[in-house]
Chain A
Amino acid sequence: MAKRWQPNSTIGKNEAIGRRLFDEPMLIGATDQPKYEGILLRHFEENRDNELSVDRLGQSGINKKVKKYLQQRATNAAKGFHKQKSFNGWIFVQKQALELGYKGRQFPTLASPITDGETEIDNNIYHAHISLSDNSEIDAFYLKHIFTTKGKIENSDTNSIQGKSRTSIVLLSYLRSLYNLLRKKNSDI
């Protein structure tokens, strides 16, 4: 069995750099507004510091084994928020797209593996970060533009598992109602 890709300390220009997408809460008074199809600026902002956390998803695209490794960590992180969120996947671009930037705004990405976690699941050898300026909202807009115009979305596996289980539930309830109907008919006869 092939080993999982082991990342170098420097990020290759073709590496897939992904930003995790968690569901974001909406304004409490604006729940009636039509659904927004785009990616929110919030996905490219950090609460605490000026370093935007990203994952190195593969050497030249999405590496399935790396995705599996990161999936567990991302799902775990989703549960760790003050209000639990759901993890929906990543939006990713090649590293060179971030380095190239847009009209002089460049976003160099540096490897910053996490190895001092309390447990193995707290570690992330594929962790990297993008340094942001003091005006993080402006940076967030340009990052959003780069990721949405040059990147792709990789859905989380959890979604498809949830999707399957939802289908199973619907099927099961349909069979149950059919069984009840037949039983009622039999008793009537």
Chain B
Amino acid sequence: MEISKDKSKNIARHFADYIDSTPIIIPTALKVDYSPPALIESFSPSYDYSSDSYVLEIRPVSAEWLHRIRSRIINSITPIGMIYENNGQWLKQEIADTANDFFDKTSDVLPAEPFIYSSRKGSLVAEYKSDFGTMTNIISQDKVVIFTVIDNDIIEKSFPLKSDKYASIRKDLLSLVNALNRGNHGEKVAAK
């Protein structure tokens, strides 16, 4: 069948009118909420959920006192423009950063809220006390030395402060803190 030129023009015009006037219905399941790119970025973590590294990034629940220690450290950083003088009142930025990172990653396995001060060398010293002894952390720029004194016995451990070492630091801290809470003689706990 042959369609004349005019008739085909009419059919085309009617079809175009029909398309224009008919609303396009998209199934709800296919609808996508539009958000500006910046917003999408802020809500999309850059982690690869399927990889193991994401699992390692999950942070433990922080200790209740962590925010106080953080603010004490931050408020003690030598102000910009002021020459650092090691008189016990100020901390170097690098030491403060390392210490904050250490507390961020270990606060849940530390014995209690520490008392902090600066050593004469500029390291941050954190002192803890428990029923059966004491713990002292000396945090310098690249390592932490942990002294645990239980029933007059000193356990000295030193760890380099690198991100891949925190798993072992946490493990050792946990066993030290357990010993601190228990004492060298388990029966003491029962006697309490």
Contact = CB atoms under 8 A, between A and B. Distances in A.
Interface of A: 24-30, 32-34, 36, 38, 40-42, 45-47, 82-83, 102-103, 136-138, 140-142, 145, 149
Contacts, number: 89
Interface in B22-65: none
Contacts of B156: 138
Given A28-B90, A29-B71, A103 B119 contact: no
Interface stretch (B73-81, B165-173, B184-192): B73-81
Contact of B88 (A26, A36, A140, A142): A26
Contacts of A45: 119-121
20 contacts: A25-B88, A25-B89, A27-B76, A27-B90, A27-B91, A28-B90, A29-B74, A29-B75, A29-B76, A29-B77, A30-B76, A40-B117, A40-B125, A42-B119, A45-B119, A136-B121, A137-B119, A137-B138, A137-B140, A145-B154
A38 B127 contact: yes
A27 B90 CA distance: 6
Contacts of B127: 36, 38
B147 interface: yes
Nearest to A40: B117
